[in-house]
Amino acid sequence: MSIRDQSTLRVILYEGADAQPLDSGGTYAVMRSLLERGFAVTRASLGGSVAPADRTELLVLGRFAGGHAPRLEDAQGRVAVESLDITGLDADAVAGRVESQRELRGAARHGEWRPWFPVIDYDRCTNCMQCLSFCLFGVYGADSAGRIDVQSPDQCKTNCPACSRVCPEAAIMFPKYKAGPINGDVVTAADLGRERMKVDISALLGGDVYASLRQRSDDAKVRFSKERDEKKALAERQKCLTKLAQAGDIPAEVLMSLPPPDEILRRAQEAKAKAAAALQAQTTT
Amino acid sequence: MSEAPRILYCHCAYAQVVPEEVKAAVLHRLCASGVAFDAVADLCEMAARRDTTLQRLASGGAVKIAACFPRAVKGLFHQAGADLPADRVEVLNMRTLSAEAVCQSLEGGVLTPNLPVEKSPAALAAAASRTKP
Ligand code: SF4
Ligand code: SF4
């Protein structure tokens, strides 16, 4: 199942009329415990407003009068609502009950995938398709209007920000990256200069990072075939790849897990063809 | 009188990029304040799934979002097909601000929109060349 085909269970921690509020430590413990497990939680109380309802199922938690969860129904019959009394439960027990409800409803399961993927800053993007052409994992595509689009975020390799180095406009962000501007910090003129330099580095590697990778991989293959000690061979392979990893900020694990050279070549050609088609579509529309 | 902005808190659950002590202090204070608010485990994860929850969170009027860099938050909502209204959103960056500064802003109620809105010259030029007859 794709990460996109899932609905989210909306949890409401209800501390309004007809329910006894938790003490502030209790509210914090329950909220935190639910958030750590990936849920979206609305704390509903008498002060302030929250996001409106949509058709998402609701699970309402509260310390209700008499310790009994009331039967709740959406007056317009559009949203399924379930309630759960949490009187006397600690934060972990509450999270356990919510998790059971999530499972029962087949709602999105969280935490199995670390959200690492590119986010495009369309205020900077010129739609040049270099990122599409560069990525070997099919993360990018073009939308129906011919605009660059992150189509398969879960195919992205965790901690690899290499495509952001390739983007000439510093338009690719990884919000969980350690430093700016890749993390979303403001782009400065100096950053743009630096970004360009990074592309020059990949040019120094032979104009094409993947061509260089293929060459190294082929060389390594020859060496590995002569090498009887597997551990030594692995160490040699790691040494070869470290240099590339440093040049493009690509984690060594990503390079180590790349497919065989002929498959790299096939994917690189496929990506280039997709980028060329997208650019062609731009000029003909 | 205009209504106080809503509050949305992002827990950034799947990375250590927001300092733990800042996240904890902000969430603590929100809980202690008695105010109603929305909280999500990780806006990034929801954006990757194009979770329709983001449309709900983006609609419903002015909102202060405690998360990370405004440029990143804008991009995440956009990528999820849930554009944030630039004139009604203020993003408080828990990666760079102190917990005290974030809390004061959340409690202050006055909204200072801060999403980036300007296109870069290169993006403007590219858009213009695409629309040329
Ligand atoms: S490389 Fe950068 S400017 Fe070019 S299409 Fe990709 S994000 Fe846009
Ligand atoms: S939007 Fe920012 S604060 Fe929220 S999960 Fe993503 S990186 Fe973390």
Of A60, A81, A105, the position where a domain reaches its end is: A105
In angstroms and rounded to an integer, the radius of gyration of the C-alpha atoms of chain B is 16
ipTM of predicted assembly, 2 dp: 0.96
Residue B85 has pLDDT above 70, yes or no: yes
- Domain assignment of residue A223, yes or no: yes
Residue A112 lies in a domain: no
Which residues form the domain of A269?
Answer: 119-284
Name the residue with higher pLDDT: A44 or A222: A44
Per-residue pLDDT at A129 exceeds 80 = yes
Regarding whether A123 and A73 lie in a shared domain, the answer is no
Residue B13 to chain A, least CA–CA distance (Å):
6
pLDDT of residue A142: 94
Residues A147 and A241 placed together within one structural domain of the fold: yes
Residues A61 and A27 occupy one common structural domain = yes
User: Alpha-carbon distance B26 to B29, whole Å?
Assistant: 5
- Minimal Cβ distance to A28: which of B31, B72, B79: B31
The predicted model gives A192-221 an average pLDDT of: 54
Decide if B6 and A50 are in contact by the 8 Å CB cutoff: yes
Instruction: State whether residue B104 sits within 8 Å of chain A by CB.
Output: no
Which pair of structure tokens corresponds to residue A35? Answer: 């958030």
A247-261 average pLDDT score: 74
Give B118 to chain A, closest Cα distance, Å: 7
Same domain, A253 and A160: yes
Q: Give the gap in angstroms from C-alpha B29 to the nearest C-alpha of chain A.
A: 9
For the Cβ of B8 lying below 6 angstroms from any atom of ligand 2, the answer is no
Q: What mean pLDDT is reported for chain A?
A: 82
**Looking at A105, A138, A153, which one is the last position of a domain?**
A105
- In this structure, are strands A140-142 and A148-150 parallel, antiparallel, or unpaired? antiparallel
- The pLDDT of residue A239 is above 70: no
Are both A101 and A182 inside the same structural domain?
Answer: no
Q: Are residues A84 and A126 in the same domain?
A: no
Does B4 reach chain A within 8 Å, measured CB to CB?
A: yes
Residue A214 located in a structural domain? yes
Residue with tokens 């799934």: B49
Specify whether A213 is located in the same domain as A160.
yes
Chain segment A137-178, per-residue pLDDT in tens: 899 999 988 999 999 999 999 998 888 988 999 999 999 999
CB-based contact A132:A274 (threshold 8 Å): yes
What is the per-residue pLDDT for A78? 80
Do residues A188 and A144 both lie within one domain? yes
Residues A279 and A212 in one domain: yes
For residue A191, count CB atoms less than 10 angstroms from its CB and return exposed for 0-12, middle for 13-18, buried for 19 or more. middle
Higher pLDDT, A34 or A24: A34
Residues A129 and A166 in one domain: yes
Q: Is residue A111 part of a domain?
A: no
**Is the confidence at residue A222, as pLDDT, over 60?**
no
Report the pLDDT averaged over residues B100-104.
98
Where is average pLDDT lowest: A44-58, A128-142, A246-260, B21-35?
A246-260
Of the ligands numbered here, which is closest to the C-alpha atom of B57?
Answer: 2
Under the banding of pLDDT at 50, 70 and 90, the label for residue A241 is low
A120 and B CB contact within 8 Å: yes
Residue A60 pLDDT exceeds 60: yes
Taking the C-alpha atoms of residue A172 and residue A167, their distance in angstroms, rounded to an integer, is 7
Please report the domains of chain B, with CATH numbers, ordered by start residue.
6-131 (3.40.1400)
- Give the residues across from A81 on adjacent strands: A58
Of ligand 1's atoms, which has the minimum distance to the CA of residue A124? 3
Note whether A177 and A101 are same-domain residues: no
**Contacting residues of B for A180, CB less than 8 Å apart:** 69
Closest alpha carbon to A174 in A118, A120, A132, A134: A118
* Alpha helix stretches (DSSP H) within chain A: 24-36, 91-105, 130-134, 162-166, 189-204, 209-226, 230-248, 252-256, 261-284
Domain count for chain A: 2
Out of A105, A131, A146, pick the residue that ends a domain. Answer: A105
Instruction: Tell me if A272 is assigned to some domain.
Output: yes
The more confident residue out of A239 and B19 is B19
- State percent of chain B over pLDDT 70: 97
Structural domain includes residue A113:
no
Q: What is the percent of chain A with per-residue pLDDT over 90, rounded to a whole number? A: 41
Token reading at A31:
């909220």
Query: Is residue A114 domain-resident?
Result: no
CA angle A274, A241, A224 (to 5 degrees): 105
- Please give the C-alpha separations between residue A63 and each of A40, A50, A66, A185, B35, in angstroms, as whole numbers: 19, 20, 9, 42, 17
The helix (H) or strand (E) run that includes residue A23 is none
A41-55, A196-210, A262-276, B82-96, range with the lowest pLDDT: A196-210
Q: Mark whether A200 and A267 lie in a shared domain.
A: yes
